[in-house]
């Protein structure tokens, strides 16, 4: 007889096939609490994982990892099947917090350990826009948009408070040769941000952030007429992976599964706190990852206890983090807004991190920044007012290059030795290059890419014009 987890493995693989084929999508919602009144400005919570793969949640078909809290969140809101990010961390966080491609900006350097770069002060972040609309704004976790000066930190980009790390959790020896401490920072907008811990115990990161998130929700929920924005950016499951002792071995499916199930526990704690404070019905909750899992590990990462199997899965998708194939840029994403977004909705249309910015600004009744935005307002689609996603295309930009573009079901990728054209509705794994059979489509999409690259300050690879296979 199959164990309950083994039985779930069989069911999960069938679910994955259904997800990509357009079948039924995920668990349905349990009873929800009453929705907020339409005139009430919603609280906003963003839960942002690091390097989580498209196939890492049970609602996305993972055969062994159990994520009941995220599954419940999906059953109570919209679960996206074609949600896009950048292939790596910094541009993804830029897209989320500004609604714009990083190629439009001059960061003046990198933002990791020893990096002198920063998010330009001229950019208006989601926190700044919401703050201007009367929200209190709070951040926990990974920033990665500049740290060398006080002016580069979250508390100078619209957040009232911040507790977290300025960059990735591998920015220390032996993985990165730096003398900078992998430190924990804490600060407020009306005071200085300071280092409060220079010797971080990474096993306590997720549980520590979660405890502070619950406390923040308790503090902010009682403020009449002042909605709050909470941005919780987990460091996990980015390598090196860590979790608290009480979660080790709990999954029965390895350390990576333990780490993902810890994040799921954290989501459950956040939702429970919202419910206990009576504000879950008037809070928008967004969950997503910054990019796909890191499958093609450099040698520097295969030391210090890291193992090749300490990584996630893209499900059937090709590629991984640091690539513009689907596995690097297509991630699990969920949006819950009771009374506005239909419970259990399967959102198959295109969506992206930039759209989260624009959609949340619209939901809050705040004014958009006066500059060209790269995001779309998804709310009319998600609430059923419109039948289709407003996003018709997505540009895959990596290191300043617009390497690929998806238009409807078609995707053209120019980063390889030859043009690659995929029809993602019939070939979601991107295994069959149709460029040779559709040369006119390749040229039309190439010209479209060139025009869009000029618009966002990116370049286009000069790929050979050979026939596809």
| Beta strand extents in 63-105 (DSSP E only) | 78-84
Between CA 232 and CA 49 the distance in angstroms is: 9
Distance CA 289, CA 297 (A): 19
Alpha-carbon gap, residue 262 to 290, rounded angstroms: 18
- Among the options 89, 138, 242, 310, which is catalytic? 89
Strand order through the sheet with 393-398? 393-398, 401-407, 410-413, 420-423
d(CA 118, CA 141): 17
CA 173, CA 181: separation in Å to the nearest integer? 10
Q: Indicate the pairing of strand 228-233 with strand 43-49.
A: parallel
Catalytic, 89? Answer: yes
Pairwise CA distance, residues 291 & 326, whole Å: 10
Report the distance separating Cα 26 and Cα 61, nearest Å.
Answer: 9
Establish whether 62 is a catalytic residue.
Answer: no
Distance CA 92, CA 97 (A): 9
* DSSP per-residue codes, 411-467: EEE-SSSS-EEEETTT-TT-----TTT-HHHHHHHHHHHHHHHHHHT-B------PP
Full DSSP string of 28-58:
PP-PPPPPPPTTSPPEEEEEEESS--TT-SG
Q: Which helix (H) or strand (E) holds 12?
A: helix 4-21
Upper half-sphere CA count for residue 281 (Cβ side, 13 Å): 12
Distance between CA atoms of residues 375 and 373, nearest Å? 6
Catalytic residue among 138, 144, 242, 310: 144
Query: For residues 54 and 295, is the Cβ–Cβ distance under 8 A?
Result: no
257 beta partners? none
Q: Which value, to the nearest 10 degrees, does the dihedral of the CA atoms of residues 242, 152, 285, 246 take?
A: 20
Q: Active-site residues: which are they?
A: 89, 144
């Amino acid at each position: 007889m199959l164990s309950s987890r083994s039985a779930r493995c069989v069911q999960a693989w069938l679910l994955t096939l259904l997800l990509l084929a357009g079948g039924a999508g995920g668990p349905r919602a349990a009873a929800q609490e009453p929705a907020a009144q339409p005139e009430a400005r919603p609280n906003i919570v963003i839960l942002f994982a690091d390097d989580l793969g498209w196939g890492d949640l049970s609602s996305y078909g993972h055969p062994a990892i159990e994520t009941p809290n995220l599954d419940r969140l999906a059953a109570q809101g919209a679960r996206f099947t074609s949600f896009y990010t950048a292939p790596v961390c910094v541009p993804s966080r830029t897209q989320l917090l500004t609604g714009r491609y990083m190629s439009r900006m001059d960061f003046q350097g990198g933002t990791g350990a020893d990096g002198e770069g920063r998010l330009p002060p001229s950019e208006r972040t989601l926190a700044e826009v919401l703050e201007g609309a009367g929200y209190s704004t709070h951040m926990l976790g990974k920033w990665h948009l500049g740290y060398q000066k006080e002016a580069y930190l979250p508390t100078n980009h619209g957040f009232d408070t911040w507790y977290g790390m300025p960059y990735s959790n591998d920015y220390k020896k032996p993985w990165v040769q730096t003398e900078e401490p992998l430190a924990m920072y804490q600060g407020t907008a009306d005071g200085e941000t300071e280092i409060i811990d220079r010797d971080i115990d990474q096993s306590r990161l997720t549980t520590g952030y979660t405890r502070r998130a619950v406390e923040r929700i308790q503090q902010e929920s009682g403020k009449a007429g002042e909605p709050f924005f909470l941005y919780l950016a987990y460091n996990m499951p980015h390598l090196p992976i860590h979790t608290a002792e009480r979660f080790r071995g709990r999954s029965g499916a390895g350390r990576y599964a333990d780490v993902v199930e810890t994040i799921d526990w954290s989501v459950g704690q956040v939702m429970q706190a919202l419910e206990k404070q009576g504000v879950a019905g008037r809070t928008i909750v967004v969950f997503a990852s910054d990019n796909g899992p890191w499958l093609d590990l450099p040698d520097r990462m295969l030391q210090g206890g890291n193992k090749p199997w300490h990584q996630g899965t893209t499900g059937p998708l090709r590629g991984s983090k640091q690539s513009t194939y689907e596995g690097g840029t297509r991630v699990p994403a969920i949006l819950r807004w009771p009374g506005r977004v239909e419970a259990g909705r399967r959102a198959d249309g295109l969506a992206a991190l930039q759209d989260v910015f624009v959609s949340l600004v619209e939901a809050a009744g705040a004014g958009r920044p006066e500059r060209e935005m790269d995001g779309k307002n998804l709310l009319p689609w998600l609430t059923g007012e419109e039948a289709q996603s407003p996003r018709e295309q997505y540009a895959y930009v990596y290191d300043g290059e617009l390497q690929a573009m998806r238009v409807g079901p078609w995707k053209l990728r120019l980063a390889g030795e030859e043009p690659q054209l995929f029809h993602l509705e019939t070939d979601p794994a991107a295994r069959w290059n149709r460029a040779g059979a559709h040369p006119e489509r390749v040229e039309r999409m190439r010209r479209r890419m060139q025009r869009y690259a000029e618009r966002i300050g990116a370049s286009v690879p000069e790929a050979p014009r050979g026939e596809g296979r």
